[in-house]
Copies of this chain bind each other. A is one copy, B any other.
């Protein structure tokens, strides 16, 4: 495409490096910036650069943090003997939003995926094993996505933790709350029947 401006072309080029943003969307976003006051773009640029250059990751759980140890790891109100293993920090946010979990986290930074060249050595798995060994951890909850890669990663970590005195569990799979049975996929429906709960337990939730 002919942008009639080298500056515009550069900006579109940079903007379209984001996943899911093509040249056309990038152009739309950038024209929006041009319609806004200059400070707007400068603020955006500053926020991005500041984040990228100053961001820290918690030295214990690898969650994103402004400090050495994240708010969750340094909180006194948390159960420090239970770790929930997640793929990335978005999952931490999602679980925190449910307000149903009060333990610690461990952010792997991805999942084992040979197709994408991601092996166990690229993930924060060893630090998890170290935490289980050195801290007084009673339970590790696997909360990875229910895909082949997620299951592989679960199993790899499970093997690594074998022999250590720690309980492992995985989050429940089943029909989403509010979903109709007829539209659920077979595997999910099958699992939700296998893992049925006593009705009295469900009533309490």
Contacts and interface: CB of A to CB of B under 8 A. Distances in A.
A72 interface: yes
A47 B90 contact: no
Interface string A17-33: 11111000001111111
Given A31-B90, A47-B11, A64 B4 contact: yes
A10 interface: yes
Contacts of A30: 48, 51
Interface string A43-67: 1111111111111000000011110
A41 to B, nearest CB: 4
B31 A41 contact: no
Given A15-B44, A19-B32, A44-B15, A7 B55 contact: yes
Nearest to A55: B7
Contacts of A116: none
Contacts of A44: 14-15, 17, 45, 48
